[in-house]
Structure 1
Amino acid sequence: MNLALFDLDHTLLQIDSDYAWGVYTTRIGWTDPEAFAQRNDEFYAHYKAGTLDIHDYVRFATDAVRQRGPQAAAAAHADFMREVVEPALLPAAHALVEQHRAHGDTLVLVTATNEFVTRPIARRLGIPHLIAVELERAPLPGGSGDWITGAIRGVPSAREGKVTRVQAWLAERGLSFDDVHCTFYSDSINDLPLLEKVQVPVATNPDDRLRAIAQERGWHVLDLFDKIT
């Protein structure tokens, strides 16, 4: 099996979808503008520095969604896709995904952003397999289904957790890394563990630290958003 693994934010998507979703929830009046912006910026700085406590962040990032409930959250996310995500999905990103699809590769989105934010984006990109931060769910009052609690279920797909989650995904199919040929596209130093694990690491729109490592190791560097297609 040939696997094409893609990070999402700043790799295929020109924005950080998790951060942008937080900004969007403030814009529609779900969060206090000043308090939320300050906390969101703090968490984003920790993410870029590789020091993010993902459990704290997910509790913070999903709080507004949890309080609003599944119907309101789904409606808001549909608007978010149209207003924020669509303009950030550039033709070059679509072309990269379609290149691998045409070669018959198995496409997997591997992201540290939670599944609520990213599942519709994966569908929009036509990527059938999603490895994202999974959210714990609990029954709603009155037996009307279940909803997220703000906690993470299982191993979060961040940093070394991306390797663990890809290994688990392969194991579910009776495979291991030794049985597949993997290409992984990522922009972030946080994804160094998985980049080091695959046969073809591609530093895509890389941050400064990842760009330096890629150049030192002779990895391919792809500045996808510089391409006009």
Structure 2
Amino acid sequence: MNLALFDLDHTLIPTDSDHEWGRFMAKLGIVDAEKFAKQNDAFYEDYKAGTLDIHAYLNAQLSPLAKHPRAQLDDWHAQFMREIITPAIAPAALELVRKHQQAGDLCCLVTATNAFITAPIGRAFGIEALIACEVETVDNVPEGDLTGRATGTPSYREGKIVRTEAWLASMGKSLGDFEHSYFYSDSHNDIPLLEKVTDPIATNPDDTLRAHAQARGWRILEIFSPRD
């Protein structure tokens, strides 16, 4: 068994699910459209620049969700999947995941986007294991109402290493146990984890990651063209 780790946004889907969810909330009137859009865009630019304050970002994204019951949030998310995410999933991305699954590889989605947004997207790819920024629920009840706060170590930059190693340790495994450990990512923010695996694959890479991958002789994979 080998290990296959996948980033999500701009890696398996040609968009940023967190950013799109923010726009979706604004469209539905869940948040003030103008104010939230400006804030959402500013955070996204910080992410691309590698300067994102992940804790401030999670607070801004999650706090509006605490105002609504989970059943309503789940209904909105189902609409989000139908209208935004599912039409964006490319056959080539599904085939990439399927190739590793058919090989018997241990597969996991490793994303900095929060788990409320990404768990259904992971299931759409048939990936059950998810490492994402965790959201707190009332009384810690699974699938319960959201408090609007994050919990645990954010799976962002070096945090992806921390969370991945903890996930593997929970199964009595480590990165060194695999002959091949693959990580597919588009973002320079993921260079720390890419440096840890045996087979880093720069997937639809941003300019910074592309240059780094070329310098290191890493494989470059283009699923989407041109890059969004």
Query: Same fold by TM (over 0.5)?
Result: yes
Shift of 1:138: 2.4
Residue type of the alignment partner of 2:176: D
Partner of 1:124: 124
Matches within 5 A, 1:141-160: 146-160=144-158
Q: Distance in 1 between matches of 2:26 and 2:69?
A: 16
Q: Is this contact kept in 1: 2:65–2:148, CA < 8 A? A: no
Distance 2:225 2:20 in 1: 21
1:192-203 correspondence runs (5 A):
192-203=191-202
Letter in 2 for 1:208: D
Residue 106 of structure 1 pairs with residue 106 of structure 2: yes
Number of residue pairs aligned between Structure 1 and Structure 2: 224
> Normalising by structure 2, what TM-score?
0.95
Shift of 1:106: 1.1
The offset of 1:179, in angstroms, is: 0.8
Offset at residue 33 of structure 1 (A): 1.1
The offset of 1:151, in angstroms, is: 2.1
Query: Which whole-Å CA distance do the structure 2 matches of 1:66 and 1:157 have between them?
Result: 21
Q: Aligned residue for 2:4? A: 4
CA contact (8 A) 2:64 2:148 kept: no
Structure 1 residue 108 displacement after superposition: 0.4
SS at match of 1:224: coil
Larger displacement relative to structure 2 (172-181 or 23-32): 172-181
State the 1:104 CA deviation.
Answer: 1.0
- Equivalent residue of 2:202, what SS? strand
Note the 1:1-229 alignment, pairs <5 A: 1-139=1-139, 146-180=144-178, 181-226=180-225
Where 1:38 maps in the other structure, the secondary structure is: helix
Task: Note the C-alpha offset of 1:150.
Answer: 2.3
**1:55–1:151 Cα contact (<8 Å) kept:** no
Q: Distance in 2 between matches of 1:214 and 1:151?
A: 35
Separation (CA, whole Å) in 1 of partners of 2:164 and 2:27 = 35
The residue identity in structure 2 corresponding to 1:210 is L
Question: How far 1:6 moved relative to its partner?
Answer: 0.2
Aligned-pair CA distance for 1:147: 2.4
Distance 1:213 1:146 in 2: 42
Unpaired runs of 5+ residues, structure 1, are none
Identity of aligned residues (%): 53
Distance across 2 between alignment mates of 1:204 and 1:215: 12
Distance 2:105 2:164 in 1: 16
How far off is 1:173 after superposition?
0.7
Residues 65 and 73, structure 2, Cα contact 8 Å, conserved in 1: yes
Q: Distance in 2 between matches of 1:146 and 1:81?
A: 20
1:226 CA displacement: 3.5
Q: TM-score, normalised by structure 1?
A: 0.94
Q: Alpha-carbon deviations, 1:11-52, whole Å to 9, x = none?
A: 001110000000001111111111011000110011111111
